Amino acid sequence: MITGETEYMLDDNYDDFFGNKKKRKARRAKRKARRAARRSAPKRIARRAKSKAFFSKLGTAVQDMGGATAIGAAIDTIAQPKPTTVFGGATDAPSDYDFSFGAPDVPEEEKKGIPTIVFVLGGVVVVGVVGLVVIKSKNNKQLYQQ
C-alpha cells in the first residue's frame, strides 16, 4: 500500500517544485544565449570601450596634476585660506581698521519650537520600528508556509 502511494514520486520526470528538468535545462540554455547576445552587442562593446578610454585619460590627467594628494592640497588651500598678516605679522586687524556698511550687529534670536534633532531622532526610531516589523512579519510568513 505504501509503495503504491509513493510510486509516482519515484518517477524520473517528477519534479513539481522546480518544474520539469528538461524544461529547466532549456530555460538555462536560453538565458545563457540571451546573456551572450547582450554582451556581444556592438553598441555595448563600443560603450564599454569609450568608457574605458575616458577613465584611462582621466587617470593620466590626475597623474599629470600630481595625483590625488596634490588635488586634495589644492582644494584645502581654496576651502581654508591661511589668515593674512596685517602690519608686521599680527593676524588680527587693529581696532581703528574696523568698517561697516551701516547695519548694526544684532545677535541672532533663539528659534522657538521643537529642535530639529528631535525630528531626526524620531524619524530614525520610526524607520527602525517599521523595519523591525517588516523583518518579523517576513520571518513569520516563512515559518508558517512550510
**Domain ranges in the chain?**
1-83, 115-145
Look at residue 112 in the predicted model and tell me its pLDDT: 79
Buried b (16+ CB within 10 A) or exposed e, 30-66: eeeeeeeeeeeeeeeeeeeeeeeeeeeeeeeeeeeee
What mean pLDDT is predicted for residues 12-22?
Answer: 61
Q: Rounded to whole angstroms, how far apart are CA atoms 65 and 9? A: 70
Rounded Cα distance, 130 and 109, in Å: 37
pLDDT tens profile 44-91: 999 999 999 999 998 888 888 888 888 788 878 777 766 666 555 656
Q: Is it the case that residue 125 has pLDDT exceeding 90?
A: yes
Residue 103 scores a pLDDT above 60: yes
pLDDT score of 129 more than 90: yes
User: pTM of the full predicted structure?
Assistant: 0.34
The DSSP string of 51-67 is HHHHHHHHHHHHHHTTH
Model confidence band, residue 6 (pLDDT cutoffs 50, 70, 90):
low
Q: In this model, does residue 143 exceed pLDDT 90?
A: no
- Residue range 5-12: average pLDDT? 58
Q: Which DSSP helix (H) or strand (E) runs through 83? A: none
**pLDDT > 70: percent of the chain:** 67
